Structure 1
């Protein structure tokens, strides 16, 4: 990332509170320049023509400053939703119907991309007649965002607007709330999990939490009871996919967060730590890690009841809970993967191969996981039609013979050919 034209900080006067420092710099990078598609240029010109300010906001700014290409880009504007709709209608821009308008968000679409644009927050009790100032409105909006690293704005000329030292925190890998942690959390209790998620993404060290943050989480943990399970599960999965996973789950338990997000109060933290350590090089699925906390199927049922996990995720947890000991006990030194491969061959479930791979991750068997990952499920070469052509008509007899042949085929490492298997029937 290159930067040019860096200015010293400027003081902003505010009539309703103490002055704060606004840090600005100008960003120039390949990632930033790549944002300017024809669609975005058209959008920017549209807002400029109608004299509305438009800024890149939030996570996209954080990613650009980190030298990453953002997957999603959100925008903030001084225009209200009604003003945006009128402007888009006048210029023939397509609008996407969604529920975001109640929160000040309008989504526009061109032939390629969607643009989510949100009206900057205002506080009439504080601002009085000062609402016209773009810097005032940017600062008010930044003040209501969750973390300093997510509270920055970027102009289309590359100018960064940073009111709460978000860029310094990003460079120092420091994750902290904007202003008072308790106040930010009480505005949306899901921010507790967002804090942990970004800590796992940004921080280089576990245990480097800023003063007062964990106390605020502990004091407000029960607020998560009022958050929908679907929203909690989205954040919890991202925590489990990030760094410092064992540390963060331990903290979630220490601070009393766990029971409010569907995790068992008596979760097996020792097993969780072991699974995190031995599976970390294999990118386990979130549910694979989470199952280490569970002791019985009731834990899975309660998690599902609280978080509304998918059927696939629930089935994976139940499978791991049942097989994390049983299949391992069937292994031999001569054929360590035989029980796992046999299980896949015998299963009628379409995703059993994937489940077995997750089981090997859970057990920390990286070599066997790599082998199993590249293994192609063989097709049993004999069918009931083959036996009928040999004159065997009884369905019960056909079923018995097929099972015997299949066991022999599995015992050969799936190498016995169709001809050899049918010859066995002929010699009986």
Structure 2
């Protein structure tokens, strides 16, 4: 028979531990980040649920962020009220409801005082197939916590500041440990995407690479094939967040070691050493996910295969193709006084949209920190001569106009884009 074990640790960062049992740990949170959540909108929603005697708690990632002393970007709520009960409450109170496509999964979104509140009924999974789950509603908070993926994501926070932690999530968060709720195999087999969520949150929470539990990695390897049935869009959403998080190079290497890479569109012979080099150079420069991932690609075919599997955006695909093509041939010129000149000339000559942004990503890839700083501040100059200017001088042949404009453009580039219209037109006589 299990007995409650009472702990009295010290108050840390506005967190007041209360008590702990084998199955539930609670404490009081009184930080400024938590207090700042209480807008007029949230107060109104909270009063409504209290009036109708339904419990309402903050759930998921917002709880984790608050415990880490961070201001959450999004706050989700969980409740004992069913979707139908919530709709009745909101309708009677005259509160607008929006985007209720998630109602079948228990989610109602209410809008009050120009603020959206996404509230989901507590649920238990009845049937899962590794991609989707059929759920039933419940009023049991522990049952809802049990169906979540990682311990650090399974906590709830009452609006009075009380933390409800059924699976040692707070302890794991303090120790920067990544663990699945209950059985790792069961959680993963409920939704194989949780393999990638493990990597993503490891990059967000863990302090050091390689601090994994061997048993967890073994379960991931045994279940990696399940990712083959997960949609590319869902995989890409998780992979992108991993690529711009901490330990990205280590985590991608781990994906190869655990046989995950082949099921999510990564090239079979990806260049891991290049990835490590690029990530080391770019990690603090706010790179785009594709900038890091492109280091794996050995050619454009790898980009195209990734697109077929993950359905990446056209912009992301074009960036990948650009980096693969130009990471070697477009580099700073060591014999030029202006090391940025090749990149500026490429921008001036290019008709590609947003080419300056792509050049910045290329400089991050190459580790050219100083050139990147200069490029980010550079305003693209406008070539001062047009075909109309040449026609005013009596030059009417379209072919001749094109050739002269190109020659003048080359002179303008050699001048460092300093020659003005008059200076350039004077040179026509010498052409």
- For the aligned pair, the TM-score class normalised by the smaller chain equals over 0.9
Tell me, in whole angstroms, the C-alpha distance in 2 between the residues paired with 1:80 and 1:33: 27
Deviation string, structure 1 residues 23-68 (Cα, Å, up to 9, x no partner): 1111001111111111111111111111111111111111111111
Aligned 8 A contact 1:340 1:356 in 2? yes
- 2:214 & 2:29 partners in 1: Cα distance? 31
Q: Is the 8 A contact 1:331 1:337 kept in 2?
A: no
Distance in 1, Cα, partners of 2:17 & 2:371: 53
Alignment of 1:45-84 (within 5 A): 45-84=47-86
99-108 or 321-330: bigger deviation? 321-330
Q: Which residue of 2 aligns with 1:230?
A: 233
Q: Does 1:7 align with 2:25?
A: no
1:331·1:339 contact (CA, 8 Å) conserved in 2?
Answer: no
Note the 1:239-250 alignment, pairs <5 A: 239-250=242-253
Alignment of 1:12-411 (within 5 A): 20-122=22-124, 137-328=140-331, 332-411=335-414
1:265 is displaced (CA, Å) by 1.0
3-state secondary structure, aligned to 1:408:
helix
**Which 4+ residue blocks in structure 1 deviate beyond 6 angstroms?**
none
- Cα distance in structure 1, aligned partners of 2:20 and 2:284: 43
CA deviation after TM superposition for structure 1 residue 417, in Å: 1.6
User: Could you say if the C-alpha distance between residues 5 and 208 of structure 1 is closer, same or farther in structure 2, counting changes exceeding 3 Å?
Assistant: closer
Corresponding position of 1:16: none
Q: Which residue of 1 aligns with 2:132?
A: none
SS class of match (1:212):
helix
Cα distance, 1:150 vs. partner?
Answer: 0.6
Contact 2:124 2:147 survives alignment (8 Å): no
Measured in 2, the distance between the counterparts of 1:293 and 1:378 equals 35
SS in structure 1 at match of 2:180: coil
TM-score normalised according to structure 1 size: 0.93
Inter-partner Cα distance in structure 1 for 2:13 and 2:276: 40
Return 95-104 or 150-159, whichever deviates more. 95-104
Q: Equivalents in 1 of 2:307, 2:104: separation in Å?
A: 30
Deviation at 1:368, TM superposition (A): 1.1
Structure 2 residues without counterparts, runs of 5 or longer: 1-11, 128-135
SS of equivalent to 1:71 = coil
Deviates more, 1:320-329 or 1:256-265: 320-329
Aligned residue-pair number: 412
Q: Deviations over 1:330-350 (max 9, x none)?
A: 663433221111000001122
> What are the Cα deviations for residues 183-242 of structure 1, in whole angstroms up to 9, with x where unaligned?
111111111111101100100010001241111110111111111111111110100110
Write out per-residue CA displacement over residues 147-179 of structure 1, whole angstroms, 9 at most, x where no aligned residue: 111110011110110111111111111111111
Distance 1:264 1:63, change over 3 A: same
Instruction: Tell me the distance in 2 between the aligned counterparts of 1:9 and 1:149.
Output: 16
Contact between 1:331 and 1:338, CA under 8 Å: does it hold in 2?
no
Residue 328 of structure 1, CA deviation? 2.2
CA distance in 2, matches of 1:82, 1:422: 75
For the aligned residue pairs, the C-alpha RMSD in angstroms reads: 1.9
Alpha-carbon deviation of 1:4? 5.9
By how many angstroms is 1:93 displaced?
1.2
Q: 1:226 to 1:243 in 2, by over 3 A?
A: same
Secondary structure of 2:255's partner?
helix
